[in-house]
Amino acid sequence: MKTRTVPGRARPARAALVLGAGGAALAGAVLLSLVAGGRPTTPLEVWQALAGGADAYTTTVVESRIPRTVMGIVAGAALALAGTLMQGVTRNPLADPGLLGVNAGAAAAVVTATALLGPTSVAATVWWALPGALAAGLAAYAVGSRGGDGGMVRLILAGAVVSAVLTAYVQAVALSMPEVFDSYRYWVVGSLAGRGYDVVLSVLPVIAAGVALALLVMGGLNALALGEEAAVATGANTTWTRTAGLVAATLLAAGATAAAGPIAFVGLAVPHIVRALAGVDFRAQVPFSLLVGPTLLLVADVLGRTVVRPTELMVGVVTAFVGSPVLLYVVRRMREAP
């Protein structure tokens, strides 16, 4: 009889190569984000602007792109890691950060705040979206969480119910109050534009807590990948791993969604890219996802800024176009699997 073993640690040489390539790709995406836009600049002009040697107009253009780039790094890393955790905990390759109703919770809170207080700034929106997202995720977990793989099915169903109820509420309020809908529809698509450092600082503690939890459970996810019984046989604390992983994913998704809106497909597509390049060991997947996620989101944002210049497409629209082929590919692979 064949025995299953816990996935081993990625070979140091391969892990270093993958992480190095990921870091280089992220650095290139950051530079591209600072260079590209409605008014293209050169890398030399970017350097001169950062060093204080460029003209006033170029300096203003470059400085306006820095907060947007920082937001892309933070949101991309959070969404990618949340997707990796969700797929690892649920053992479902189609799981994404919105599985527990986080996106719907954030949307419901934003719509409620706008209906009661009127249109608010992006920074103010964060303070409503963040607790709404966290509350929805925790509610789904409280309703559907049980031990074992069967509990994951209940959890997913609970998340679907929470999402359905909150989505219906959002649609009812938005359609009955056109002024609310006009304000809400900009946020719900997902965008990095108009996000200042205040928005980043507002969600950074929540995202940092999620990353810290992810680092604690990444070893346990290797055992959980074997299934409940096999994981218990290896001595793994599956309850702790599953609970901490879901809480971490909720914190990460809530922070990113509150800041940038419900950006689709990053949390679904990146884990598959990470597994293909870094292997099955979550101790390699977790740090690598923190590099691939921002790279993908920044490149998508640059495409949105350049393909329809001088106007731009919101990054949520671009990621949907990019992520859809990935989803179809994953579904096809699942159907072909024996």
Residue 196: predicted pLDDT: 85
177 contact partners, CB below 8 Å, separation of at least 6:
115
Residue 81 predicted with pLDDT over 90 = yes
The type of residue at 316 is: G
Instruction: Name the token pair of 189.
Output: 């698509």
Is 156 or 295 the better-scoring residue by pLDDT?
Answer: 295
- Asked, as a colleague might, if the bond just before 310 is cis with ω within 30 of 0, I would say yes
* pLDDT mean over 34-63: 86
Residue 334: predicted pLDDT: 59
Is 200 or 148 the better-scoring residue by pLDDT?
Answer: 200
User: Tokens 């959980």 map to which residue?
Assistant: 224
Over residues 126-151, the pLDDT tens digits come to 888 899 999 998 888 888 766 555 56
Residue 330 predicted with pLDDT over 70 = no
Residue 3: predicted pLDDT: 45
Residue 73: predicted pLDDT: 96
Nearest to 111 by CA among 164, 173, 199, 191: 173
Distance of CA 18 to the CA centre of its chain: 21
The type of residue at 157 is: L
Query: What percent of the chain lies above the pLDDT cut of 90?
Result: 33
326 contact partners, CB below 8 Å, separation of at least 6:
265, 268, 269, 272, 273
Task: For residue 9, name the pLDDT band (cuts at 50, 70, 90).
Answer: low
Domain residue limits, the chain: 64-336
For helices 197-224 and 238-260, the axis angle rounded to 10 degrees is 150
Does domain 64-336 bear CATH number 3.40.50.10860? no
Cβ pair 136, 100 in contact under 8 A: yes
Residue 331: predicted pLDDT: 65
Q: Which helix (H) or strand (E) holds 25?
A: helix 12-35
Residue 319 predicted with pLDDT over 70 = yes
* pLDDT mean over 298-323: 87
* pLDDT mean over 158-175: 90
Residue 224: predicted pLDDT: 84
Residue 302 predicted with pLDDT over 90 = yes
Residue 1 predicted with pLDDT over 50 = no
Measure the CA–CA gap between 301 and 36, rounded to whole angstroms. 10
Q: Which helix (H) or strand (E) holds 36?
A: none
Over residues 264-273, the pLDDT tens digits come to 889 988 998 8
Residue 2: predicted pLDDT: 44
Measure the CA–CA gap between 67 and 278, rounded to whole angstroms. 30
Instruction: Name the token pair of 231.
Output: 């994981």
Residue 150: predicted pLDDT: 52
101: alpha, beta or left? (left if phi > 0; alpha if psi -120 to 50): left
User: Tokens 């529809």 map to which residue?
Assistant: 185
In this structure, of 68-82, 234-248, 289-303, the range with the lowest mean pLDDT score is 234-248
Q: Which helix (H) or strand (E) holds 38?
A: none
Full-model pTM: 0.89
Over residues 211-254, the pLDDT tens digits come to 999 999 988 888 888 777 777 777 778 888 888 998 999 999 99
Task: For residue 208, name the pLDDT band (cuts at 50, 70, 90).
Answer: very high
Q: Buried (b) or exposed (e) across 101-123, using 16+ Cβ within 10 A?
A: bbbbbbbbbbbbbbbeeeebebb
